[in-house]
Amino acid sequence: MAYPDVPIWLELTRLGGDFALSAGRSILPNPALANIQRYCLFMGAPRNGHSLVGAMLDAHPEMLIAHELGLPKYKVAHFSKRQIELLILSNSKKSAANGRQHIHYSHSVPNQWQGRYKNLQLVGDKHGEGFLLSVEARPWLVDTLLKSLNPCHFIHVIRNPYDAIASILSTVKRQHTQDSAIAYFERLYQTLSTVSDKLAADQLHEIHFEQLVSQPQKELEKLCGFLGFDATTEYLQDCSSIVLDDLGDHRALVEWSPSSRQKIDKLINCYYFLSKYSF
């Protein structure tokens, strides 16, 4: 119930299947869920690097991060917390079996724990764009999630908007013009700011994609620390091995109109988390 172009009948069919999958299992004892102490959600604009970060965290032995499960819709449909936890487990396992594939990238971390766990303490969902669309449609969801998934930590991955917008302009399925893409990002940034205002400093971690790429072990260790976990040298090394060295200059692939440049520069000036960026 996040993306407006997904037919409602399809969403309802999926919800029915997920309810059938999780309802019966939720009343049975499950030792894997016994030690879950905290939750994690992603929020942010598309093509910012959330999938990479989610895959890295899913490789940690004490965390499971679903890939675009769409957790808010299950709260709307009144799934129990135990049902949501079971769906996260199932999604993480399936995503790992598929190599954590996203678009044309594989985010499979060698030698680590994707889709598996040892002393599971945190579960979450990597669906940054979808989360913001859900909250935009139902603003009350933020307070509901903060109360029901307590404590809940939020991760916001940030990227130069010129590169992120250029990336979605190259996606035929999106069917965006420069104007519509910029307007869409502005909507997401507005919703993101509204959510951020509700969070305490220890509930939100912001990570810049460019810094993650240049110093993956350092940035990942900081993120794990924010979530309350240690990160072994082996874990950090294996996760950093899937990070591409070359980001690619996506913004150079677009012939930007003067008005588009002005609009994006205005966004950069408006939102503090974009202030370090320029064309």
Whether 1 maps to a domain, the answer reads no
Structural domain count, the chain = 1
Q: Does the structure show a pLDDT above 80 at 192? A: yes
Q: Mind listing the pLDDT tens digit for each residue in 147-166?
A: 999 999 999 999 999 999 99
Is 2 a domain residue? Answer: no
Q: Which residue has the higher pLDDT, 184 or 171?
A: 184
Does a structural domain hold residue 232? Answer: yes
Domain that holds residue 215: 8-274
User: In this predicted model, what pLDDT tens digit does every residue of 8-65 receive, in sequence order?
Assistant: 555 767 788 787 778 777 777 788 899 999 999 999 999 999 999 999 999 999 999 9
Helix (H) or strand (E) holding 183: helix 178-197
| Predicted pLDDT of residue 3 | 54
Domain-embedded: residue 73: yes
Whether residue 144 is contained in a domain is answered as yes
| CATH code at position 98 | 3.40.50.300
Residue 3 in any domain: the answer is: no
pLDDT surpassing 70 at residue 1? no
Alpha-helix residue ranges (DSSP H) falling in 198-257: 209-214, 216-227, 233-240
Quick one: pLDDT at residue 215?
96
Entry pTM: 0.93
219 within a domain of the structure (yes/no): yes
> Which two tokens mark 244?
């591409």
- Range 71-86 burial, b when 16+ CB lie within 10 A, else e: bbbbbeeebebbbbbb
Q: Rounded to an integer, what distance in angstroms lies between the CA atom of residue 235 and that of residue 231? A: 6
Position 189 in a domain:
yes
